[in-house]
Structure 1
Amino acid sequence: MNDYIEILVHSVNRLYGDISDGPEKPGNWQLIEELGILNLFLPEDLGGMDGGWQEASVILRLSGYHAIPLPVGETMIARKMAHEAGIEIPSGPLNLNDFVTGDMLMKYGAYLRTCQISGAILACLEKTVEYTRDRKQFGRQLSKFQAIQHQLALLTEEAAAVASASAAAAVALDRSDGNFEVSCAKLRANQAAGLVAGISHQLHGAIGITKEFGLYHHTQRLWAWRAEFGNNRYWAQRIGKHILGHSDNSAWALITSRGNQ
């Protein structure tokens, strides 16, 4: 992680932490505007950061981690699309549904949801680890039971897999079109979302489904995000088309060729 991204993580994490404690507080959107992250993709002469997808992925992932109920990622991407289309960049919060750009909209939206899913999964993992350490049954911490340890290991595996897939897709988006990598990342994130939500609630028991408890704020988003901007079937079909469209009709050949682009 370079120094610029470390500063970005620190600044966004601090701001999101304040917002997640009071999401309906007036002035929250203005605080986000003032931080400048909504213009991350824009050139510096337009007040932007001239950033790429690797920097954006940090902001998008933290949005999911903190369960931010504001369209931060949507606005970032919408302003990028407006600039690329040569139209006036709208002010205020934006929705991607306001744009009709076909495959490009699906790709950007899918990557947004992939990063948010990655962040929400990490939050679920941390909350579940903390809960099973604090909660005792039969005089032992829940985390000491082998069956619980196995479930926690599964959560950790899913968190690492989606984080890796989203990071690889960010590099591909900055380097080339990223079509294949985003397809793979969104499918992997979709698959992980349901599994992680299910395991997290299973280990939390009844308290996990209460609105007052933090877990619910993340799992309800996981269930929604996995269906938005392409479900499992949609992205599996896209991956199949990528492979069949490659000269060797081979998944391995496609993967290795993408690494050289």
Structure 2
Amino acid sequence: MFTEAIEKILTDLCTPAQVRAVENGEGANALWRALEEGGFLELLTPQAADGAGLALADLLPILLAFGRHALPLPAAQSIAARALLRDCPQAPPAGMLTLSGTAWRDAYGSLCVPRLSFGLLADFALVNFSGELFLLDCTLARRKPTGVHGSQCATLYWPAETLGISVGSNGEEVGVFNAAIHAAAIAGAMERVLDMTLDYCNDRVQFGKAIGKFQAVQHQLSVMAEQVAASRIAAELAFAGDQPVPALIPTAIAKARTSMAVSPVAATAHALFGAIGVTEELDLQLFTRRLHEWRISEGSETYWNGVVGLAMLAQPGATASAFVRDVIPFA
């Protein structure tokens, strides 16, 4: 029910034209109001607190939809923030919330949060700092854009006097949840990229027939489809289980696998589209740019493969199959 309702909102209000408008600095108030007023930011909030009380597995299709539509707003992060603030006595603030699992003090004592997702748009950031949870007002921070075309990421700096006090001791969960969100977004966006590429290959005619009929193109499409399917399965892994937030190792596997798929999927799509694929007018670049950005958000496959590897090395007597059975809830 929630997925269908959100899909309709995204189809009506999150068009490629609207995504481009947000990238160019225009607001997306209508889209944000539709999500906020519809109660969709409270999907993980318990029913006792007037939320939907969804399980993580029920949230996944919605996050995939966000990726398929290249949603240019931190709706997924705002949903997760409410779950992460479950032990905080204060109600989450109104407005756009984003997440970061990494922060440090710079030489001037300011708190630096690098490459904060939607850092140019967010009103508040829920940040992990040395294992503690901090809810920070983004209007008090200095925002430094990444300089990447169309990106809403930014590095933010908060003066020491604006930090306040910790609102929880579950700071380590922030990076894990944010990684799971990006894994789902990657999987959803790659599904859209595959659909666009299939449509183009069926429509584009060369030497008297659609290029999708050529065996070499079919081979590239089949490999691309394998990567997309594997990413969808990996994202499902991160959102399995009955915990309020995704588990570390399943999320590490999911983020590593989806990030690994970004380069071959994006490269194949652009190769099959040819020169037109990189043009501003074509919607493909709206998704492939995000795929590359999301690949490194909260750590690329190199980082998360290391997390999985260290966890396995900590069980020296376990085989790979036994390790997988232990960490995957439904194995």
Q: Decide: shared fold, TM above 0.5.
A: yes
Give the 5 Å matches for 1:44-123.
44-97=47-100, 98=125, 99-100=127-128, 101=133, 102-123=171-192
Q: What residue ranges of structure 1 are gaps of 5+ in the alignment?
A: 1-6
Kept in 2, the 8 Å contact 1:54–1:174? The answer is no
Kept in 1, the 8 Å contact 2:177–2:246? The answer is no
- 2:197 matches 1:197: no
Kept in 1, the 8 Å contact 2:43–2:59? The answer is yes
- Cα distance per residue 1:110-155 (max 9 Å; x no partner): 0000000000000000000000000011111010000100011011
- 2:11 matches 1:17: yes
Helix, strand or coil at the partner of 1:95 = strand
Q: Cα RMSD over matched residues? A: 1.9
Helix, strand or coil at the partner of 1:191 = helix
Kept in 2, the 8 Å contact 1:83–1:89? The answer is no
In structure 2, the partner of 1:27 is 30
- Cα distance per residue 1:31-68 (max 9 Å; x no partner): 01122221111112322101121122111111110001
Q: CA deviation at 1:231?
A: 1.2
Helix, strand or coil at the partner of 1:84 = coil
- 2:154 matches 1:160: no
AA in 2 matched with 1:157 = E
Which of the pair is proportionally richer in strand? 2
Give the 5 Å matches for 1:157-196.
157-172=226-241, 174=243, 178-196=247-265
Kept in 2, the 8 Å contact 1:38–1:75? The answer is yes
Helix, strand or coil at the partner of 2:296 = coil
Question: Does the C-alpha gap of structure 1 residues 18 and 88 become closer, same or farther in structure 2, counting only changes over 3 Å?
Answer: same
Q: CA deviation at 1:228?
A: 0.5
AA in 2 matched with 1:239 = V
Q: CA deviation at 1:177?
A: 5.9
TM-score by length of 1: 0.92
Question: Does the C-alpha gap of structure 1 residues 26 and 108 become closer, same or farther in structure 2, counting only changes over 3 Å?
Answer: closer
Kept in 2, the 8 Å contact 1:244–1:250? The answer is no
Give the 5 Å matches for 1:214-229.
214-229=283-298
Kept in 1, the 8 Å contact 2:250–2:328? The answer is no
Q: CA deviation at 1:236?
A: 1.1
Q: CA deviation at 1:176?
A: 8.7
AA in 1 matched with 2:70 = A
Q: CA deviation at 1:226?
A: 0.3
Tell me the matched-pair count: 255
- Measure the CA separation in 1 of the matches of 2:70 and 2:328: 33
- Cα distance per residue 1:178-233 (max 9 Å; x no partner): 22111111000000011111100000011111122111100000000000011122
Q: CA deviation at 1:175?
A: 8.7
Q: CA deviation at 1:15?
A: 0.8
TM-score by length of 2: 0.73
Helix, strand or coil at the partner of 2:258 = helix
- Measure the CA separation in 1 of the matches of 2:242 and 2:313: 21
Larger Rg: 2
Moved more, 34-43 or 181-190: 34-43
Find the partner of 2:42 among 26, 39, 46. Answer: 39
